[in-house]
């Protein structure tokens, strides 16, 4: 089954404790992206990647890191989480050429205390 898998689904942590949210897709998509969803603000793009070893900032990259060492995986790293990073996070992937359809994971609800 074609899917984007995120883990964990829920995460509660404390300020400053490094964490990683994993994302994996099995569709051989070149493009992957991370979004955060906040009430009243819709989805905002954090980082995206056009292919292995190619990443770029989205609209709200501060406080986040990503890596794309393999085509299928695109982890989101919070080196020193802060309470304003409490949010619902989504990973998405798509074909690169002529791609307009994003495939989304089920989301990770992060709470930073």
Partner 1 sequence: GDSVTQMEGPVTLSEEAFLTINCTYTATGYPSLFWYVQYPGEGLQLLLKATKADDKGSNKGFEATYRKETTSFHLEKGSVQVSDSAVYFCALSPRQGAQKLVFGQGTRLTINP
Per CB under 8 A, residues contacting partner 1 are: 4, 31, 33, 35, 37, 40-45, 48, 50, 90, 92, 94, 96-102, 104-107
Is residue 91 within 8 A of residue 33, CB to CB? The reply is yes
Q: What's the min distance (Å) between Cβ of 65 and partner 1?
A: 19
3-state secondary structure of 50: strand
Nearer to partner 1, 69 or 101 (CB): 101
CA distances from 106 to 6, 15, 35, 43, 98 (A): 7, 24, 12, 14, 24
Q: What's the min distance (Å) between Cβ of 79 and partner 1?
A: 25
Nearer to partner 1, 56 or 79 (CB): 56
Determine the Cα–Cα distance for residues 7 and 75; give it in Å rounded to an integer: 10
Nearer to partner 1, 63 or 107 (CB): 107
Q: What's the min distance (Å) between Cβ of 83 and partner 1?
A: 22
Burial class of 49 by CB neighbour count within 10 A (0 to 12, 13 to 18, 19+): buried
Nearer to partner 1, 85 or 93 (CB): 93
Q: What's the min distance (Å) between Cβ of 24 and partner 1?
A: 14
């Amino acid at each position: 089954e074609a899917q984007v898998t995120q883990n964990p689904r829920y995460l509660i942590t404390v300020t400053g404790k490094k964490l990683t949210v994993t994302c994996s897709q099995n569709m051989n998509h070149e493009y992957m992206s991370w979004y955060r969803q906040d009430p009243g603000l819709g989805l905002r793009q954090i980082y995206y990647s056009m292919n292995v070893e190619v990443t770029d900032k989205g609209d709200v990259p501060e406080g986040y890191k990503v890596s794309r060492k393999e085509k299928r995986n695109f982890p989101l790293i919070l080196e020193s989480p802060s309470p304003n990073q409490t949010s619902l996070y989504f990973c998405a992937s798509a074909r690169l050429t002529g791609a307009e359809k994003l495939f989304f994971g089920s989301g990770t609800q992060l709470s930073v205390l």
